[in-house]
Amino acid sequence: MTDEVEKNEEAGPEETPAAEPEPEKAEGSGASDQDKPDTPASVEKAAEEKVEKELSWPPEGEVGKDERTFGMLAWLLAALAWWLGPLIIYMIKKDESKFAAFHGMQALFFSIFTTVLLVVSGMLVMCWIGALLAPLVWLGHVIVSVIWCLKANKGEWAELPLVADWAKNVVADKAE
């Protein structure tokens, strides 16, 4: 080892290798971030795990009977009262139950979506397409609402394809 030091001293400053930082220790050797709880990396990792746990979908835990009933009611009211019923359910349960809030918001977005389709089909009545499309949209709305009503009553976190991501974002933002 002294020979290497002597060679580096003889080589002069131009050929002297730059001081390299020590390589980080592998996960299996030496102290890890978990051994040092005050290091920024371990604090950041703990914070990330906490956020992932809070934002995991669907949330962990059993869905209670009350939550299932309100989730079912949101979809049933969507079939009968369009967007007003799910909005009321969401406003009542948004702080108490993620399950009921999710189904209420999902039913609300679905009702708004079908309302837009009904308005478009109403504009197409002059082409006779709207006269055929409007009853199909209404029937589809009622059928989907009843199916999701039954799923909510079973305690399923059933996601409706076009609107579930929006509902998840609203419920997750409210949870923060």
Look at residue 120 in the predicted model and tell me its pLDDT.
93
What pLDDT score does 52 carry? 59
Quick one: residue 155, left, alpha or beta (phi over 0 = left, psi -120 to 50 = alpha)? left
Positions in the chain whose pLDDT score sits under 50: 25-26, 28-34
Domain ranges of the chain: 65-175
Of the candidates 175, 169, 176, the one whose C-alpha atom is nearest the C-alpha of residue 109 is 169
Concatenating the DSSP letter of every residue in 48-94 gives HHHHHHHH-SSPSSPPPHHHHHHHHHHHHHHHHHTTHHHHHHHHHHT
Q: What whole-number distance in Å separates Cα of residue 5 and Cα of residue 11? A: 10
12: left (phi over 0), alpha (psi -120 to 50) or beta: left
Please identify which residue in the block is written with the tokens 């923060």: 176
The C-alpha atoms of residue 141 and residue 70 are separated, in whole angstroms, by: 19
pTM: 0.65
In 3D space, the residue among 116, 52, 61, 55 whose CA is nearest the CA of residue 83 turns out to be: 116
CA dihedral 159, 163, 167, 168 (to 10 degrees): 50
pLDDT the model gives residue 33: 47
